[in-house]
Amino acid sequence: MRTLLLPSVLILAASCGHPSRPAEPADPALVAEARQFVAELDRTVRQLTVDASLASWANETDLTPEHEAATARASEAQSVEITKLVKAARKFDPILGQLDPDTRRQLILLKFQAQPSPDDPAQARELAELAAKMDSEYGKGVCKTVDGKETCEDIEYWSKLLQKDRAPDHLLAAWKTWHDEIGHKERDLFVKYVALANAGARGIGFSNVASLWKSGYDMPEDQFVATVDRLWGQVKPLYDQLHCYTRRKLNEMYGDQVVPKAGLIPSHLLGNMWAQSWDYLYPELEPYKGVAPIDVTPVLEKHYDARQMVQIGEAFYTSLGMDPLPASFWQRSQLTKPRDKNVVCHASAWDVQYNNDLRIKMCINLNQEDLWTIHHELGHDYYFHYYYQLPVLYQSGANDGFHEAIGDAIQLSMTPAYLKAKGLLAEVVKNDKATINQQMQTALGKISFLPFGLLVDKWRWDVFSGKVAPAQYNQHWWDLKKQYQGVAPPVPRAATDFDPGAKYHVAANVPYMRYFLAAVLQFQFHKALCAKADYHGPLYDCSIYGNKNAGAAYMKMLALGASRPWQDALFELTGTREMDASAILEYFAPLQGWLQQQNKGQRCGW
């Protein structure tokens, strides 16, 4: 789900100067210099970013030592040169408030076009090499050498074991192998990375990387933290009910010795390597057995290939009035896993050259999960498509959560009626039992994810800020997983373990709060788009497929890119300037009521 090579986030566009007296008139020569500086930025930053993106694409689609080294070199050049530009631009800080909005915003956004580089050239090179190494090691997966030949099993292999098997000892073995092998490879690299990345952040005026990331949302750091905590507070009661129901059903399956009646759920039993989504438990958690099943996998396996699955996704976007994907997309994308090389299968969307060079990188399986993922990734590509003609500093989401929410909002329109219209589902059943089943299936993907989406960067904020030392990295990870998710490690974990490194986004240094924000924003977008489509029924039953009015409203917001604060972009579509989770509660109101009835008499919570 990664959209850009390196973090590309926004910061509060605050005016500078002493607040108690009017700013002195800016030197006209300095104003003119600032405008000229920004005019030259586009060419310089674009070339650096394209070079790094091309190198990263080559590496992730063919993991070799040569490509890893080239990625490190390009990343180092990007980081070093943009850090120099950021420092050169600081001379304009005293007059930021007196510059025209376009010049001011691009100067502010400049700080976030790459991981800032330490001043020391040797440290800058080491930072880039560490980043490339962590990414490559994760992509290769668990490797062993037999008869002089190395073979590797990546996350796709290990994830499928957790998805399909239900024997606790098998699940434990898969979970432990991945966490031990990958975490141990990543730990020492990550410890070094933290120190060097923080040195880079200090060089451009931030106390550490955590401060840099939290500053990236057109509001002060503490206000952003309060915002995400408020959003979590809105949705936590729904998550608690889902957790309570899931724990009881697993207890019935496995018994008290494996899953307690009260307390934490062992994380290896939830069908996902990180317990971040519980989709694959649906057969065990299905409220009304056999009522209105939604599984398009058999049709996909029988009648579709990977390209045709992507064409289904493209057809949704074009039904809204959006453009077809360019021919180069089909020529350059990686849709299936090559047999003759190692690749990073983690799904991602790219505009590799920031000129409508749209691609996706996936190892598509012919199943329902990957069909949903395709719709998500194409959301990124259509965002790229509608803002690619803006200056490169504006070629980003209004905030990073927007980028992840675009395709997720489309997923919410993939209703049973939509699936039937596409020939993927034989019939549509409409009754209360069908509604609860369908909501459970959606909630096991989207509601179960919410606390995980929050805690990954809660952990990294504490790590980068120095609140948590390396000796406590792993314990703090599990403390947060217990606090937010209500899950526990299946076996005792040591300080020498590094379970956060078993997650791609930690190994690849991709900020994760974007996914929590997207989990909220997608429902806000969905509600607004349904209103644009003049839909008046239950929110969970709305599909905007084929509605040009909704499409026009979506395209208008996409075209803004990062040219305006996210509050403006959100207002453009929804009429509000505040992220709000009330649409989630509206969408899942039937399920929440049903869960409360099911959980009566249970000791919910942990």
% of the chain with per-residue pLDDT over 90: 91
Q: Which is nearest to 272 in space by CA: 246, 254, 253, 292?
A: 246
* Res. 146 pLDDT band, cuts 50 70 90: confident
pLDDT at 309: 98
Residues 49 and 4: their CA atoms lie apart, in Å, by 10
Helix residue ranges, H only, 320-399: 327-332, 368-387
Is position 547 within any domain?
yes
Lowest mean pLDDT across 26-40, 163-177, 364-378: 26-40
- Looking at the fold, whether 248 and 124 belong to one and the same domain comes out as no
Beta strands in 51-154 (DSSP E): 142-146, 149-153
Do residue 214 and residue 232 come from a single domain? no
User: Containing H/E element for 102?
Assistant: helix 101-109
CB 521 within 8 A of CB 557: no
Task: Give the β-pairing of 149-153 and 142-146.
Answer: antiparallel
Asked if residue 268 and residue 211 are part of one domain, the reply reads no
Query: Cβ(6)–Cβ(350) under 8 Å?
Result: no
Domain boundary, last residue among 218, 243, 263:
218
In a domain, 467, yes or no: yes
Closest CA to 108 of 86, 88, 91: 86
Cα-only R_g, the chain: 24
- Looking at 218, 252, 277, which one is the last position of a domain? 218
Domain assignment present for residue 410? The answer is yes
Average pLDDT for 504-513: 95
Q: How many helices (H) and strands (E) does the chain have?
A: 24, 6
292-345 tens-digit pLDDT: 989 999 999 999 999 999 999 999 999 999 999 999 999 999 999 999 899 999
Distance in angstroms (rounded) separating the CA atoms of residues 171 and 157: 13
CB 308 within 8 A of CB 320: no
- Angular region, 275: left φ>0, alpha ψ -120 to 50, beta rest: left
Tens digit of pLDDT for each residue in 205-222? 999 999 999 998 999 999
Q: Is residue 564 part of a domain?
A: yes
Please tell me the least confidently modeled range out of 11-15, 362-366, 439-443, 562-566.
11-15
User: What's the domain range around 108?
Assistant: 28-218
Confidence of residue 150 (pLDDT cuts 50, 70, 90): confident
Which pLDDT score is estimated for 115?
85
**Is there a single domain that holds both residue 159 and residue 234?**
no
* pLDDT on residue 26: 74
**Which pair of tokens denotes residue 64?**
């070799």
Q: Is residue 53 part of a domain?
A: yes
Q: Identify the burial level of 339 via C-beta atoms within 10 angstroms of its C-beta, where 0-12 means exposed, 13-18 middle and 19 or more buried.
A: exposed
- Domain contains 603: no
Q: How deeply is 550 buried, as exposed, middle or buried, from its count of CB atoms within 10 A (0-12, 13-18, 19+)?
A: buried
Domain boundary among 218, 240, 268: 218
Regarding whether 436 and 287 lie in a shared domain, the answer is yes
Same domain, 116 and 203: yes
Specify if 604 maps to a domain.
Answer: no
More confident residue, 26 or 132: 132
Are 48 and 168 members of one domain? yes
* 522/584 same-domain check: yes
| Percent of the chain with pLDDT strictly greater than 70 | 96
SS3 state at 578: coil
11: pLDDT strictly greater than 60:
no
The count of structural domains within the chain is 2
The stretch 533-546 carries a mean pLDDT of 97
- pLDDT computed for residue 111 by the predictor: 86
pLDDT of amino acid 148:
83
Same-domain pairing of 528 and 511: yes
Q: Please name the residue ranges forming H helices in 112-268.
A: 121-140, 155-164, 168-203, 209-214, 221-254
Kindly state whether residue 526 falls inside one of the protein's structural domains: yes
pLDDT in tens, 60-70: 999 999 999 99
Question: What local confidence, expressed as pLDDT, does residue 51 receive?
Answer: 96
SS3 category, 144: strand
In tens, the pLDDT along 231-288 reads 999 999 999 999 999 999 999 999 999 999 999 999 999 999 999 999 999 999 999 9
What pLDDT, in 10s, does the model give residues 160-208?
999 999 999 999 999 999 999 999 999 999 999 999 999 999 999 999 9
- List b or e across 391-402, with b for residues whose CB sees 16 or more CB atoms inside 10 angstroms: bbbbbbbbbbbb
Does 548 lie in the same domain as 416? yes
Largest CA distance in the chain: 76
Task: Give pLDDT, residue 14.
Answer: 31
pTM check: above 0.75? yes
pLDDT band at 23 (very low <50, low <70, confident <90, very high): low
Are 169 and 262 found together in one domain? no
Q: Which residues pair with 144 in a beta bridge?
A: 151
pLDDT at 368: 93
Residues 567 and 507 in one domain: yes
Tens of pLDDT along 304-313? 999 999 999 9
Give dist(CA 103, CA 262) in Å, integer. 57
Q: Residue 6 — very low, low, confident or very high, per pLDDT cuts 50/70/90? A: very low
Q: How confident is the model at residue 24 (pLDDT cuts 50, 70, 90)?
A: low
pLDDT at 131: 93
pLDDT digit string (tens) for 71-97?
999 999 999 999 999 999 999 999 999
pLDDT of res. 10:
33
